[in-house]
Amino acid sequence: MIKVEGVNKKFDGFQALQDLDLNVKKGSIYGLVGTNGAGKTTIIKHVTGVLLQDTGTIEIEGEPVYENIGIKSRMGYIPDDLFFFSPYNIRESSRFFKSVYPNWNEERYEQMVKRFDLSEKGKLSKFSKGMQKQAAFILTMSSMPEYLILDEPIDGLDPIIRKLVWKYVIEDVAERDMTVLVSSHNLREMEGICDSIGILSKGRMMIERDLDELKSDIHKIQVAFESKPDGAYQGLNVLHQENRGTVDLLIVRNKREVVEDIIKKNKPLVFDLLPLSLEEIFIYELGGGDSEIESIIF
């Protein structure tokens, strides 16, 4: 269990994190999403104990993370900006990982190198970006982490390797109850993998919820009436509305049953209710009111 409470961080007067709370349950896959510069990497660097917060607490299993070797040895972290000792190949790097991580699994390392088909001879620093990510993933997963923290893990990977990466992650969550915190801009892929979602904006946590709950709360509806009665949409909690001919398109935040009751009362000719994708939720929650963004999307 990862628990972040009221964390503040300033860099040279710039408020990077503001009263940030974040909770990851054990065995959960938590997706951290947010616009560029929202503070995703910053909070990840705090959760991994790379940076120290100004105020607030960051605890894993009730212990503060910063300088906590016991916790860190059970944590795997793949940063967005990878680092390798420049003369090392992956085999040499694995010896370093083995010396640091007590749960290192040699068998898994061998098996993963074969699966990913990576050269054990080439210097890691000479690898392409995608191959470096794979190498980092193999090394991290072979250390058998209980907490896996991934910053943009699939960025730059081809679809086949991405699938393989998720397979390993899922397997460890299923078999060992591993806890995962992952940040990404690829919302479609996050939607298939995560069970909880945290949406960050400007250093604050906007929404933190179970993904299915989040999705069951917000809907896209298309309605047409023979003649639209006054106040047909009263009580719907409309986030966005536009007309396409006689059909109205609305984004509403409400329970499905409530929406259906209100709309059906007036005998609509057409009534479609669709769940929103995570991508759409992200846009409505973060781009709401910004007409420039809206005009691109609709």
Partner 1 sequence: MFQLDLKSRTSIYEQIVDNIKELILSGVLRAEDKLPSVRELSKTLTVNPNTTQKAYRELEYQGFVYTVSGLGTFVAERVAEKIDPKRLEELKEEAGRLVRELLFLGLGEREIRALFEDVLLERGVLS
Residues that bind partner 1 (CB under 8 A): 27-29, 163, 166-167, 170-171, 173-175, 188-189, 191-195, 211-212, 215, 274-277
What minimum distance in Å lies between the beta carbon of 69 and partner 1? 30
Q: Which is nearer to partner 1, 188 or 265 (CB)?
A: 188
Q: Which is nearer to partner 1, 28 or 142 (CB)?
A: 28
What minimum distance in Å lies between the beta carbon of 173 and partner 1? 6
Q: Which is nearer to partner 1, 5 or 171 (CB)?
A: 171
What minimum distance in Å lies between the beta carbon of 194 and partner 1? 7
What minimum distance in Å lies between the beta carbon of 275 and partner 1? 5
Q: Which is nearer to partner 1, 216 or 241 (CB)?
A: 216
Q: Which is nearer to partner 1, 58 or 180 (CB)?
A: 180
What minimum distance in Å lies between the beta carbon of 2 and partner 1? 16
Q: What are phi and psi of 28, to 5 degrees?
A: -100, 155
